[in-house]
Amino acid sequence: MRLLGIVLLLICAAGLILYLNPDLRNRVTEIPADLGLSDRTARLYKWRDANNRWQITDQLPPEGIEYEILDYHEDLNVLPRPPALQGD
């Protein structure tokens, strides 16, 4: 019972430290993305079907078909703002 109390106290203390320090909180929340564990990454497969049309899907193509893997990262695959909107 005492161990549970100590663990709860440590969790509350860590939460308070993160709450009071936004810079540290931002760095901690970026750790999964830095390790490639973010759900903000999409893996897609690009391949040609029997009619020679490009297919881009999140499922592997049928066996025996050559394909290319496309990894899209939400925070990397973005376009810059158009110059006309830079002043807003």
**Residues 48-80: pLDDT tens digits?**
999 999 999 989 999 999 999 988 777 665 666
CA distances from 73 to 37, 44, 76, 77 (A): 11, 11, 5, 6
d(CA 82, CA 1): 60
Its pTM stands at: 0.43
More confident residue, 66 or 37: 66
pLDDT in tens, 1-17: 899 999 999 999 988 98
**Amino acid of residue 48:** R
More confident residue, 20 or 76: 20
Radius of gyration of the chain (CA): 22
Q: What is the pLDDT of residue 11?
A: 92
